Amino acid sequence: METKQIATLIFDKISSEKETLKKKYSETKNGIGHFYIDNVLPEDLAMKISSVFPSKEEMVLKKSLREYKYIAAQMDQYDSLLEKVIYAFQDQRIVDLIGEICNTKSLEPDENLYAGGISLMAYENFLNPHLDNSHDKNRDKWRVFNLLYYVTPDWDDDNGGHLELWPDGVEGEQITIHSRFNRLAIMATHQGSWHSVSPVTYQGERCCVSNYYFSETPLKENDQFHVTSFRARPGQKAKDFILKMDASLRMGIRKVFKKGIVENPHVYKKDKE
Ligand SMILES: O=C(O)CCC(=O)C(=O)O
Ligand SMILES: [Fe+2]
């Protein structure tokens, strides 16, 4: 199946729930606007996507106090179905539809997969509460939406590895979006969109296809440039102290060197010379 056909399936599914999703987004948008759609693709196609996911050994390990997970963006190294699915979510019809649901104009997908692509989280992997980098690779557009499509069959609610939103910060109440099979979660990203993935407590692999949408304008009036900033989970005081220092140091560097001092390797390089 080709990218366009996959996109048509996704588009039709989201369209069929448009009115409900608009309502969900507007009810949540004062905190972290979000909604999710189940059974996004026909089950056999979603199963196929899961079956062609690379093993964690073929992906890039990210392991620090901030996170412990596997990612990949260099999509020509993997089964071509994965690349097609990623880019299906970038189809203009879908981008416009999400814009309509969220009442946000001029959304743009990210062809370079800056921080997008695929991810895999295995036993004991985690992603601590964080704010995503506010901008794109060249720091000229604002990151405004995350699209996270989960494809592990039978991923049980008891397995951990769920998306968590913290609209009142990590000291506040948390909203859990379970990363169930064939579910697409969409969340707004802005100055207050703290989110995390709970530790995986099961000997299995939680697989996700991710896309980020950008815009010329930020979602919230008071949004300011920020680097990806991490916190610890509630109760982990020492770790929290280190992560706060880490974010402010990196933010300090970015005030002097606009694009950072090392290039973020997490992009899809299409012209390999
Ligand atoms: O995997 C997820 O559900 C969230 C991923 C995420 O927040 C990120 O990669 O920045
Ligand atoms: Fe994130």
Ligand 1 within 6 A of CB of 197? yes
- Please give the number of the atom of ligand 1 that sits closest to the Cα of 185: 3
Cβ neighbours of residue 24 closer than 8 Å, sequence gap 6 or more: 34, 35
Which residues are paired to 71 by β-bridges?
60, 119
Ligand 1 within 6 A of CB of 187? no
Distance CA 58, CA 72 (A): 9
Ligand 1, atom 9, residue with closest C-alpha: 115
Tell me the best of 121, 127, 132, 229 to mutate to test the pocket of ligand 1, counting ligand atoms within 8 Å of each CB and taking the most. Answer: 127
Confidence of residue 5 (pLDDT cuts 50, 70, 90): very high
pLDDT 10s digits, 204-232: 999 999 999 999 988 888 888 888 889 99
Q: What is the pLDDT of residue 273?
A: 41
Q: What is the pLDDT of residue 158?
A: 97
Q: What is the pLDDT of residue 79?
A: 97
Q: Could you identify the residue written with the tokens 């982990």? A: 236
CB of 102 closer than 8 Å to CB of 57? no
Question: Which one has a higher pLDDT value, 253 or 122?
Answer: 122
Rounded average pLDDT over 253-271: 71
Q: How far is the CA of 180 from the centre of ligand 1 (A)?
A: 14
Q: How far is the CA of 248 from the centre of ligand 1 (A)?
A: 21
Ligand 1, atom 6, residue with closest C-alpha: 196
* Mean pLDDT across the chain: 92
Q: How far is the CA of 132 from the centre of ligand 2 (A)?
A: 5
Q: Within 10 A of 149 (CB to CB), how many other CB atoms are there?
A: 27
Rounded average pLDDT over 7-18: 98
Tell me the best of 119, 151, 177, 228 to mutate to test the pocket of ligand 1, counting ligand atoms within 8 Å of each CB and taking the most. Answer: 119
Burial class (CB in 10 A: 0-12, 13-18, 19+), 17: middle
Ligand 1 within 6 A of CB of 69? no
Distance CA 118, CA 31 (A): 27
Q: How far is the CA of 273 from the centre of ligand 2 (A)?
A: 31
For residue 265, pLDDT beyond 80: no
Instruction: Retrieve residue 51's tokens.
Output: 């079956």
CB of 142 closer than 8 Å to CB of 189? no
Looking at residue 106, its amino acid is S
Q: What is the pLDDT of residue 101?
A: 98
Instruction: Retrieve residue 268's tokens.
Output: 């899809």
Distance CA 259, CA 256 (A): 9
Rounded average pLDDT over 174-188: 98
Which residues are paired to 176 by β-bridges?
164
Q: What is the pLDDT of residue 270?
A: 81
- SS3 call for 163: strand
Q: Does domain 3-256 have CATH number 3.40.1080.10?
A: no
Confidence of residue 268 (pLDDT cuts 50, 70, 90): confident
For residue 261, pLDDT beyond 60: no
Total length of the chain: 273
Confidence of residue 256 (pLDDT cuts 50, 70, 90): confident
- Please give the number of the atom of ligand 1 that sits closest to the Cα of 71: 9
Confidence of residue 140 (pLDDT cuts 50, 70, 90): confident
Delimit the domains of the chain by residue range.
3-256
CB of 66 closer than 8 Å to CB of 128? yes
Rounded average pLDDT over 185-214: 97
Looking at residue 89, its amino acid is F
Rounded average pLDDT over 142-150: 96
What ipTM did this prediction achieve?
A: 0.98
Ligand 1 within 6 A of CB of 14? no
